[in-house]
Structure 1
Amino acid sequence: MSWKNQPRGSDGRWKAAGGSVGAAVVAGVVFFASGGAGGGGAAVESAASHSLKGKSSSKEAARKGNRAEAWKRLGLKSLKQTAKRDLKCVTASFSEVRDFFAHNPCRSLDRLLVAVADSHGNTVVVSVAWVKMPKADTTGKLKRIIDIQGSGDISPLASGALGLGGVDFTGHHYASRQSGSLLVVAETAPGGGHPGNELLDTVAEVAAEFPAP
């Protein structure tokens, strides 16, 4: 795995490319529909344009916990998802983030991996992690560490559970949010077709608004 020690920007995104992250064992797979891959430059432009128009209202729906509506307002629909809850974060993380959890155990960790797609067959894979720490100040320290590229991460669930292989979370499309003792980390990666960078960024920002399960 190749990493560069460069901080993320004010929006939480990494400023340079990172490496792929490891996958964890998953449970509780839920299938909603099936989707195809494909699409070209025109489809990418159309999806990105739609995502910009719907971002504000999508975030509003996300904050209310209405995931289906949040995706709909971006012109997307959920295809498949898998979720898992853990009581220990140290085994589901790596590098400095893992070291942090070794000395500061979390209270719980919920992870979600979901594939969403537009009408042109462009698929985005979304990884969301909700980490609950004992205190807000500890959560703040965790956020400062995890927002730095090269410091490690919370491992996304395995994309094989979604019927997708070779999904590579590079860290380019990332968002994080702290709410008291809760930290939400969202990352996106292409899962099929040609989703544009703007769409990938927007989906990550919206996913970071989801309340904990």
Structure 2
Amino acid sequence: MAKGTGIVVAAVVIALVLANHEDDDGGAATGSASGGGNASAAQFAASRQAMLRGEPTVAWSRLGMARTAKDASRRDTDCASHSYGQVRRYLRRVPCRVMDRVLFTVDDKGGNTIAIAVAWVRFDTPAAAREFKRIDDTWGTGQVRPLPGSTLGLPDIRLSGQHYASRREGSLTVVAEAEEVADGELDDAFLDEIAGVAVLLPH
């Protein structure tokens, strides 16, 4: 899968918070706050903390954003048929128990719209989830297919995984992607950070 680059921990406090919620695989990718979204590292830290508390509306508001009314979701038990590449081959060998996917958008006051795709993939064992995360985190290995933009009445959105985050909790692996719906002022580092917030979305 294509993965975001230049990802670093935004703040020590977030590393400590995530350490309490994730295992030794590491947690959500956390890019450096910057750029077009005009959000600071402190704002991203507050956003992640709100997500960890189970308050997504508050989390997006910390970044000056709001989730739009439209969203799409789907549950599947045949994960392999909704993936491709090495990820698909792995899921054929080691089937998941269930996969939940959601696609939604968030808007900011500047008129920018970001499409966000999150997938929760649950396995029978932590070891299976760990290996899935390792493969999915690796560049060029394929991915779980996000729900298409047409489900939200949006133009085709290229969710290539460039702005990507993942985490694991036991037998559950969560992956998230973010992409601007139309070319605008949001830079790559900002979108990396958005994925790092989205991967903490309560399930």
Q: TM range, normalised to the smaller chain?
A: 0.7 to 0.9
Q: CA deviation at 1:196?
A: 2.3
Are 2:105 and 1:115 equivalent residues in the alignment? yes
Q: CA deviation at 1:48?
A: 2.5
Greater shift after overlay, 185-194 or 101-110? 185-194
Runs of 4+ in 1 over 3 A off after TM superposition: 7-12
Identity %: 35
Question: In the alignment, which residue of structure 1 is the partner of 2:65?
Answer: 76
Could you state the TM-score of these two structures normalised by the residue count of structure 2? 0.79
Question: In the alignment, which residue of structure 1 is the partner of 2:139?
Answer: 149
Which deviations, in whole Å up to 9, do the C-alpha atoms of 1:133-187 show, x marking residues without a partner? 1100111111110111111100000111222112111322110001111101001
Question: Which consecutive residues of structure 2, in runs of 5 or more, have no partner in the other structure?
Answer: 9-33
Question: In the alignment, which residue of structure 1 is the partner of 2:127?
Answer: 137
Cα distance in structure 2, aligned partners of 1:8 and 1:50: 18
Instruction: Assess, with a 3 A threshold, how the Cα gap between structure 1 residues 113 and 184 changes in structure 2: closer, same or farther.
Output: same
Q: CA deviation at 1:57?
A: 1.1
Are 2:117 and 1:127 equivalent residues in the alignment? yes
Instruction: Assess, with a 3 A threshold, how the Cα gap between structure 1 residues 9 and 178 changes in structure 2: closer, same or farther.
Output: farther
Question: In the alignment, which residue of structure 1 is the partner of 2:197?
Answer: 206
Residue aligned with 2:161, SS: coil
Q: How many residues align?
A: 176
Question: In the alignment, which residue of structure 2 is the partner of 1:90?
Answer: 80
| Equivalent of residue 55 in structure 1, options 23, 44, 66 | 44
User: CA-atom RMSD, angstroms?
Assistant: 2.2
Question: In the alignment, which residue of structure 2 is the partner of 1:103?
Answer: 93
Which deviations, in whole Å up to 9, do the C-alpha atoms of 1:22-60 show, x marking residues without a partner? xxxxxxxxxxxxxxxxxxxxxx95x53225331111111
Could you state the TM-score of these two structures normalised by the residue count of structure 1? 0.76
Residue aligned with 1:127, SS: strand
Amino acid at match of 1:55: F
Cα distance in structure 2, aligned partners of 1:72 and 1:156: 24
